[in-house]
């Protein structure tokens, strides 16, 4: 069990650029979640997958955000035309849904800074 892995750990970009983050969940975890966290706030839900199916997407999420989990393993989160308000920590989590141990395990996050 190597834990949830996120890449990169830090990303600095200029406003208007596109960025993509990757998340590798704990192997055999069928659910994968993306959250965003800003300073002083709890994690805010973005979207989640069961295997390759995207089950829910936050209504707060603009069309500039898209996430995929094409083979039900790793996932990518893309932000197009970044804005300064996108600066945040992006957290990925996975869970073994359908078991008694359905807690979410979090990765260390990707810290995005938009200049």
109 binds another protein (CB under 8 A): yes
> What is the end-to-end Cα distance of the chain in Å, rounded?
36
Question: Both tokens of residue 88?
Answer: 């945040």
Secondary structure, 3-state, 91-113: EEEEECCCCCCCCCEECCCEEEE
Pair of tokens at residue 103: 């807690």
Q: Does 56 bind another protein (CB under 8 A)?
A: yes
Identify the residue among 21, 77, 107, 112 touching another protein (CB under 8 A): 107
Smallest gap from Cβ 2 to another protein, in A, equals 13
Q: Which of 43, 67, 77, 79 binds another protein (CB under 8 A)?
A: 43
Rule CB under 8 A: which residues touch another protein?
Answer: 4, 33, 35, 40-45, 48, 55-56, 89, 91, 102-109
């Amino acid at each position: 069990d190597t834990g949830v892995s996120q890449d990169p750990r830090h990303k600095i970009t200029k406003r208007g650029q596109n960025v993509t983050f990757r998340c590798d969940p704990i192997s055999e975890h069928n659910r994968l979640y993306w959250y965003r966290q800003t300073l002083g706030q709890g994690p805010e839900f973005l979207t989640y997958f069961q295997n390759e199916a995207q089950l829910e997407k936050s209504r707060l999420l603009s069309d500039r955000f898209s996430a995929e989990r094409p083979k039900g393993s790793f996932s990518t989160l893309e932000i197009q035309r970044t804005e300064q308000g996108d600066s945040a920590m992006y957290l990925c989590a996975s869970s073994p849904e359908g078991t008694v141990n359905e807690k979410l395990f979090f990765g260390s996050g990707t810290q995005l800074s938009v200049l």
